[in-house]
Structure 1
């Protein structure tokens, strides 16, 4: 990485890929938590509400701190916060391998959430610094890494934890150690970039927004609408990734392993959607991609609880691909709404997504305990209707990219 030189418009692909790999490792660690839910339910007797609280604590710690980290980083960059954050997550994961008490599990996920809160805003900033004129592609590579790590959760649950129990999570610790080393190398590149800017006495170039000039009120309304989109998407995907496996086992009689394979399919195609969404937004515009992620999956979301088992994987492929093509695009769109606050907006959007996942985990867990699995899935299937607010977002202009 030492030979890479930053230029104004040329993307630095090795750094873009490296931070994407680091994101994969970071989110793989976090994915161990929902992967353990069937194990916690089976071996420790935890209720759906308790599982929801674990999700809430993990995501809320991360979501509440990410905007703070992003704001501080905009004022004073923190290159070595990246490996420090992963070390914190390593400690949390190490605790999860051995603990049996519910309260210790909560402490462990606090460490994981703290590590995630540090990593995501700084990682997004590295992605932006390396992007050049390929902001959509760079953000997609970065987010694909994270979504790939999350997609591993059902496979870890089905083929590692189901056989080895909690101790099976120790396999991920080796991957984490590799991630810490990689982030130290990325941090050194980050430092060199800051030194180059200082030595050249040039101010850091601000993001050039593709949006038209907007008033402060218009920006506030647009951010509110964007947060509604993130809320509905995060709430729905949290339900599928964390709890839909219980519906598959209860309603269709699938085994845990086969059910987790279905969840993996949903998350894996979401990775594909995330990758193409960012680069597609460079060509057809951010809002157009967000609209595509709204119109496309909505009827399939509404019908998913009622279709026969042979149609379920087909619907999961369609929903997962389309609903996630806007994942990286909403981050870029928010940054272009407030182009002077790259880290802050990355922290707000990803932090809000984590926060809504946290709220979703608790609410869905409680609904499952109170009204049952089938009724809960039917209620959550209606939630994507909120995504139609994206039609009222300001339209951006399409940039010419090489």
Structure 2
């Protein structure tokens, strides 16, 4: 395992994803700038979600077929310019286009980054991929804090400073580009052959994708509504909710990612996925029926357990599609995240009709669905060794 290169890629991941983490905190700025309705604000979020997440499998498909490592320095630069300049322009549709372009920068870093991380992980795939993945967790968690600090300092003008990290990271990665390897030496199959390649493991791959989508839906919904719940039900102010609760959830997810990768390399990836989901409903229940010290503690457990298999499921997808790792990463990270985000408005509609406590009681049960599907996945992968045998044959190079 090449730790220095993994750490460099992980820092790049921090910088790329911090701009995505900043966007939710910037939405009130856009409302005041353009006098937006909730529908127009939702369009801003949707443009970013689609360009930053749902398009990643397409970028991954391309990345598997060309030497795309040049994307790594370009991605944080595009993300920085797109997202930050959008806060300075006076026209709504221009800001919308810039946000979508910034989202493409965020999206572009992930497939090539995960592919390079897999190459540098050696025989410790889960640990190495976790080191890379945790950078994204840290970036997303730090984004709202950065907006709060810079906006309190110099309002919108203060945000311009955040172009600098993207430029600096682009320069660092550009200098390192000749030394960066992704392991892409032989072109993978064309589109028709790619379908034939995935067909033997289509059922377990789709099942794993559904598990990841449902896990991501729970995580995104929780992160969206925890601040609202804290204000409406716990009587906190907005700064108290943002600074006193949400960081425990987000940063514990980053720590859980590292621990999960370490454990998965030494035990069973499928077993870790299964048992990381099992206790989460209990933690949510305690969170809803307690106060004081127990509130942030439960968020630490919820975040740590839920996100502990984020990188592990990427590695599992690589094992299923060893010749198309970038596309597999795009499906598990980008597509799953984008699709899961589309379910969050339905939680909001449910809360509007039945109240936030009822919505959280429903969310409390949500991890049980991917838990049940993981049992099915484990059984499927172990029944007669059929899929394991196919994976071994497909991963073996031929003369």
User: Any idea what SS the aligned residue of 2:308 has?
Assistant: coil
CA-CA distance at 1:147 after TM superposition: 0.5
CA-CA distance at 1:186 after TM superposition: 3.8
Alignment of 1:152-231 (within 5 A): 152-162=142-152, 164-190=154-180, 219-231=201-213
1:55 touches 1:357 (CA, 8 Å); kept in 2?
A: no
Which residue number in structure 1 is paired with residue 130 of structure 2?
Answer: 140
User: Any idea what SS the aligned residue of 2:64 has?
Assistant: helix
Alignment of 1:358-397 (within 5 A): 358-367=341-350, 373-388=356-371, 389-394=373-378, 395=381
CA distance in 1, matches of 2:41, 2:281: 28
Structure-1-length-normalised TM-score: 0.83
CA distance in 1, matches of 2:258, 2:217: 21
Q: Which residue among 132, 136, 140 is the counterpart of 1:150?
A: 140
Which residue number in structure 1 is paired with residue 328 of structure 2?
Answer: 345
CA-CA distance at 1:319 after TM superposition: 0.1
Which residue number in structure 1 is paired with residue 97 of structure 2?
Answer: 107
Which residue number in structure 1 is paired with residue 257 of structure 2?
Answer: 274
CA-CA distance at 1:286 after TM superposition: 0.9
CA distance in 1, matches of 2:10, 2:201: 29
Which residue number in structure 1 is paired with residue 271 of structure 2?
Answer: 288
The 10-residue stretch of structure 1 (15-24 or 162-171) with the greater mean CA deviation from structure 2: 162-171
Stretches of structure 1 that go unaligned for 5 or more consecutive residues are 1-10, 198-202, 206-214, 398-402
CA distance in 1, matches of 2:230, 2:224: 12
User: Any idea what SS the aligned residue of 1:381 has?
Assistant: helix
CA distance in 1, matches of 2:37, 2:346: 13
CA-CA distance at 1:383 after TM superposition: 2.0
The 10-residue stretch of structure 1 (146-155 or 223-232) with the greater mean CA deviation from structure 2: 223-232
1:73-120 per-position Cα deviation (integer Å, ceiling 9, x unaligned): 211121212222223212212323314655444323201211122110
1:249 touches 1:256 (CA, 8 Å); kept in 2?
A: yes
Which residue number in structure 1 is paired with residue 315 of structure 2?
Answer: 332
* CA distance 1:192–1:113, shift in 2 (3 Å): closer
CA distance in 2, matches of 1:132, 1:109: 36
CA distance in 2, matches of 1:371, 1:41: 27
Structure-2-length-normalised TM-score: 0.83
* CA distance 1:272–1:147, shift in 2 (3 Å): same
Structure possessing the higher relative contact order (Cα contacts under 8 Å, 6 or more residues apart)? 1
Which residue number in structure 2 is paired with residue 233 of structure 1?
Answer: 215
CA distance in 2, matches of 1:105, 1:204: 38
Stretches of structure 2 that go unaligned for 5 or more consecutive residues are 189-196, 383-387, 389-399
CA distance in 2, matches of 1:45, 1:377: 31
* CA distance 1:58–1:218, shift in 2 (3 Å): same
Q: Which residue among 337, 354, 373 is the counterpart of 2:337?
A: 354
CA-CA distance at 1:356 after TM superposition: 2.6
CA distance in 2, matches of 1:192, 1:350: 18
The 10-residue stretch of structure 1 (59-68 or 182-191) with the greater mean CA deviation from structure 2: 182-191
* CA distance 1:365–1:89, shift in 2 (3 Å): farther
* CA distance 1:297–1:51, shift in 2 (3 Å): farther
The 10-residue stretch of structure 1 (347-356 or 41-50) with the greater mean CA deviation from structure 2: 41-50
2:278 touches 2:368 (CA, 8 Å); kept in 1?
A: no
CA distance in 2, matches of 1:377, 1:233: 15
* CA distance 1:276–1:191, shift in 2 (3 Å): closer
How many residues align structurally? Answer: 371
CA-CA distance at 1:358 after TM superposition: 3.2
Which residue number in structure 1 is paired with residue 394 of structure 2?
Answer: none
Which residue number in structure 2 is paired with residue 297 of structure 1?
Answer: 280
* CA distance 1:78–1:119, shift in 2 (3 Å): same
Which residue number in structure 2 is paired with residue 126 of structure 1?
Answer: 116
CA distance in 2, matches of 1:47, 1:326: 37
CA distance in 1, matches of 2:347, 2:72: 32
CA distance in 1, matches of 2:74, 2:254: 26
User: Any idea what SS the aligned residue of 1:123 has?
Assistant: helix
1:250 aligns with 2:237: no
CA distance in 2, matches of 1:46, 1:368: 23
* CA distance 1:356–1:93, shift in 2 (3 Å): same
Q: Which residue among 2, 18, 21 is the counterpart of 1:12?
A: 2
* CA distance 1:343–1:216, shift in 2 (3 Å): closer
* CA distance 1:149–1:335, shift in 2 (3 Å): same
